[in-house]
Amino acid sequence: MSFKTNKYKVVEKAIEPGVANFIYEYFLLKRKVVTTFFSSKYISPFSKEWGVWNDKQVPDTYSHYGDIAMETLLQSLLSLMEKETELNLSPTYSYARIYKKGDILKRHKDRPACEISGTLNLGGDQWPIHLEPSGDKGREGISLLLNPGDMLVYSGCDLEHWREAFEGDSCGQVFLHYNDIDGEFKDTNQYDGRPHLGLPTYFKKNFNYLED
């Protein structure tokens, strides 16, 4: 399957399952640590540097923008993403979540910083992702099931994507976002407006940030 033709492609074992599990366990532990930080008032309840539970897209679910481990993954998989898409890419940002039972990811298309994206299964219970290959809105779409370490590469601005209500207990995913260096957003979204990878949203040029 060609990404250039279909605007999506599944890459099996983009990272080894054992590595995916390590990152998943790391993120579970981080969520536990951050919960303790907040409950003990070790950090401000308004702090976003350790992750949040008030993501508007999936409320009450632990999410983290720009986690350093995830940003390292974003950088490390750049060459693989370029190979699979046949595009010259620039990394913008990473965003990770640990989904819980009942979570829903509503149908949507992404903002320009998510022009070329990879959603990578880190571990937990399986949960299909749906997308509409035609680019039209509101159609039935197709369902794709990823194993830990597998990644769906897709054109986030062009294809509607979503997830139905999660029936499992826990599912870890990281979204890796890139821009086409030769495309229309090449001069506007490097590192999502930050000086470099690994930084929180405080360092963005435009603080009106909304995760897509």
Both structure tokens of 135: 């680019």
31 alpha-carbon distance from chain centroid: 17
Domain count, the chain: 1
142 within a domain of the structure (yes/no): yes
CATH number at residue 132: 2.60.120.620
136-145: average pLDDT: 86
Q: Which of 51, 39, 65 is nearest to 174 (CA)?
A: 65
For residue 210, pLDDT over 60 is answered with no
203 part of a folded domain: no
**212 pLDDT more than 50:** no
Give a yes or no: residue 87 inside a domain.
Answer: yes
Domain that includes residue 133, residue range:
3-195
**Exposed (0-12), middle (13-18) or buried (19+): which is 69, by Cβ within 10 Å?**
middle
Residue 207 domain flag: no
Least confident among 23-32, 80-89, 134-143, 159-168: 134-143
- Summarize the confidence of residues 200-204 as an average pLDDT: 91
Residue 190: pLDDT over 70: yes
Q: Which helix (H) or strand (E) holds 120?
A: strand 116-124
Is 81 inside a domain boundary? yes
Flag whether 180 is in a domain.
Answer: yes
The pLDDT of residue 205 is above 80: no
43 lies in a domain?
yes
Q: In the sheet that 89-100 helps form, which strands lie side by side, from edge to edge?
A: 8-11, 151-154, 116-124, 170-180, 89-100, 63-65
DSSP reduced 3-state for 118: strand
What pLDDT was estimated at residue 211?
Answer: 43
pLDDT at 117: 97
Q: Is 171 helix (H, G, I), strand (E, B) or coil?
A: strand
